[in-house]
Structure 1
Amino acid sequence: MSLYDDAVLVLKGYEGQEELRQTYLDHLASHPDGMWKACHAGHITASALVIDAEHGRVLLTLHKKLRMWLQMGGHCEPGDITLEAAALREAEEESGVEGLTLLPGGPVRLDRHPIPAPCHWHYDVQYAVVAPPGAVQAISDESLDLRWFAYDEVADVADGSVVRLLEATRARLSN
């Protein structure tokens, strides 16, 4: 199965955000290259919110280009077999944390946001991962900083998309 096929299956199985989910599926149906950065109409990205082992903090990265506190994530790569694998790879690369575990249940949220030309949209499929106890982070080349924030601090440093991802992740954790 290709990454494209996996993305379609994941999105078809995703419950919630029905209109946005259909927008993602329509985009992929119209753009067979919609998984890749080279698709200038927009492309699927995969991200993951890193939660500490005690479920009380999140690890955010101060993105070098955007200068915003964000979850880990980015573009799919040819070696990615699934969207989950892409999100986990991005989380490990950008956090430096080894042994991350995906929260079960598939994506936590979808977030479509505009990006500068030549591309137009990121169709982000957002997951959550849990860090092992005693996790040690390491700043990547894509970050200016990397820091743990208590849940109640996130709204003060991050934008609404990260806050919504945290809220959805906390709801998933409480189920």
Structure 2
Amino acid sequence: MPITIAHLREHLTAYLTRWPESECEVRPLLDLDSPSGFDRKALPGHVTASAIILNAESQVLLVHHRALDRWFQPGGHLEPGDESLPAAARREATEETGLAALELLDPAPIHIDVHPIPANPRKDEAAHDHYDVRYLFRAATTDLAPAAAEVHAAEWRPVADLDNDDLIARLKSY
């Protein structure tokens, strides 16, 4: 069964229970009333899912994004067969890094980030926003096999290399 607006709202409510100061960023997602918000062509933006993956040494896994030439946590667009947001995050992480043994540490998102994505004429995509719902996982192994078609590289890095100070602070409690 594909991800529904009700599923998204359930996860956003759990997130806001823990992080109420994030309501301003989350409000556009709470106002979604159509599944088109999950479609990668939806404008002005759409929902994506990412995996914040820690190893036993409390390092975070980052991948180098080809198109944006930056390091990010693994993640991406939702697929029609994805049954939940955490499952979509896990699928993207496995596709991009080769890691299959990922333990979800919390069913609620650890972070939600709204960030702009530049236009991509090659894919006929206009500039848009990603409403990135991020879940925390622990990897059972540190052996990586990055998918060359998806990313340039994957590396275990210090948590301080993440792109958001709020997220870095939240990870200190895990």
Normalised TM-score (structure 1): 0.84
Structure 1 residues 164, 137: CA separation in 2 closer, same or farther (over 3 Å shift)?
farther
1:142 correspondence with 2:143: no
Q: Which residue of 1 aligns with 2:86?
A: 84
Structure 1 residues 93, 170: CA separation in 2 closer, same or farther (over 3 Å shift)?
farther
Report the residue type matching 2:134 in the other structure.
Answer: Q
Count of equivalent residues: 162
Q: Which residue of 2 aligns with 1:36?
A: 39
Is 1:48–1:129's contact at 8 Å kept on the other side of the alignment?
A: yes
Q: What are the Cα deviations for residues 33-72 of structure 1, in whole angstroms up to 9, with x where unaligned? A: 00110212210000011110x2421111011111111100
Q: In structure 2, what is the Cα distance between the partners aligned to 1:13 and 1:57?
A: 26
Is 2:2–2:80's contact at 8 Å kept on the other side of the alignment?
A: no
> How big is the shift at 1:76?
0.4
Aligned-pair Cα RMSD in Å: 1.8
Q: Which residue of 1 aligns with 2:122?
A: none
Q: In structure 2, what is the Cα distance between the partners aligned to 1:170 and 1:88?
A: 22
Q: Which residue of 2 aligns with 1:111?
A: 113
Report the residue type matching 2:23 in the other structure.
Answer: E
Q: In structure 2, what is the Cα distance between the partners aligned to 1:48 and 1:139?
A: 15
Secondary structure at the residue paired with 1:166?
helix
> How big is the shift at 1:169?
2.4
Q: What are the Cα deviations for residues 101-147 of structure 1, in whole angstroms up to 9, with x where unaligned? A: 11124100110011123141100001111000x33111112111111
Q: In structure 2, what is the Cα distance between the partners aligned to 1:87 and 1:123?
A: 13
1:3 correspondence with 2:11: no
> How big is the shift at 1:168?
1.8
Q: In structure 1, what is the Cα distance between the partners aligned to 2:39 and 2:102?
A: 25
Instruction: Map 1:96-135; keep pairs closer than 5 Å.
Output: 96-117=98-119, 118-132=126-140, 134-135=141-142
Structure 1 unaligned regions, length at least 5: none
Equivalent of 1:47 in 33, 47, 50: 50
Equivalent of 1:75 in 40, 55, 77: 77
- Identity within the alignment, %: 37
Is 1:49–1:165's contact at 8 Å kept on the other side of the alignment?
A: no
Normalised TM-score (structure 2): 0.85
Is 1:95–1:139's contact at 8 Å kept on the other side of the alignment?
A: yes
4+ residue runs over 6 A deviation: none
